[in-house]
Amino acid sequence: MIVRDIIRIDEEKCDGCGACVPSCVEGALKIVDGKARLMSEVYCDGLGACLGHCPQGAISIEKRQAEEFDADVAPGQASGHDSEGMIEACTVCPGGSSVTESAAVVLGESEFTSAPFPYQLGLVSSAVPWLQGADVVLAADCTAYAHPGFGQLRGNRPLLIACPKLDNVQEHLEKLTDIMREAVPASVTVLRMEVPCCSRLAMLSEQAIERSGKEIPLSVVTITIGGEIQPSVA
């Protein structure tokens, strides 16, 4: 045992979203019983690559007595993780195609390699680096299933997803306001369906921009019942 830096997980804050898991190159983290767990002290190098990927701020670094890090036994190192996360460790799907190949079909080759994965609006933190000053897409859950060109509509932009009918609307308004105020996106594009409930997503975005006091361009793209695209400006 030595005194060294090692991660600490606040179980009260952790909601088990799993965003930290792919950021740990060593494979030291897993979701167990709905919470992130450090599987073994010897797996954790204490560098804290997982810190900025926790929307709830449940992970920190502390200095304490712990077993020494051993890169040779860390499961991530043995499984072929790279610095970008865990993509290489699980590249083969049951059908024989790779995860990267399958995702590229949906998102487009260039989009998949450089844009972050989609995040549920309720789970994302306004402090994450990829939101700061970015052109952000806010899409209703159903839009990705309703149009085959969703990847092209999204482009190479950060993607937040939400359901304006089934989710907590007030919580979404507060989260969007925080994002507008703190991340100050360069623009926001709302992708919605041509159904009444989806109109709330654009309304929430408008209200959040107004409440933030920022001047942020907002545009709305509607996918019609017939699968056509109707762009408009809010």
CATH 3.40.50 in the chain: give the residue spans: 117-233
**What is the β-pairing status of strands 135-140 and 159-162?**
parallel
The CATH architecture of the domain made up of 2-80 is 2-Layer Sandwich (3.30)
Query: What is the per-residue pLDDT across 197-232, written as a single tens digit (0 to 9) for each?
Result: 888 899 999 999 999 999 999 999 999 888 788 876
Query: What is the per-residue pLDDT across 78-93, written as a single tens digit (0 to 9) for each?
Result: 433 333 333 333 333 3
CATH 3.30.70.20 in the chain: give the residue spans: 2-80
Query: What is the per-residue pLDDT across 90-107, written as a single tens digit (0 to 9) for each?
Result: 333 333 333 333 333 333
Distances (CA, A) of 231 to 140, 203, 204, 206: 15, 16, 18, 16
The CATH architecture of the domain made up of 117-233 is 3-Layer(aba) Sandwich (3.40)
How many Å apart are CA 216 and CA 184, to the nearest integer?
A: 7
Instruction: Count helices and strands (H / E) in the chain.
Output: 7, 10
Rank 110-119, 141-150, 163-172, 201-210 by mean pLDDT and report only the highest: 201-210
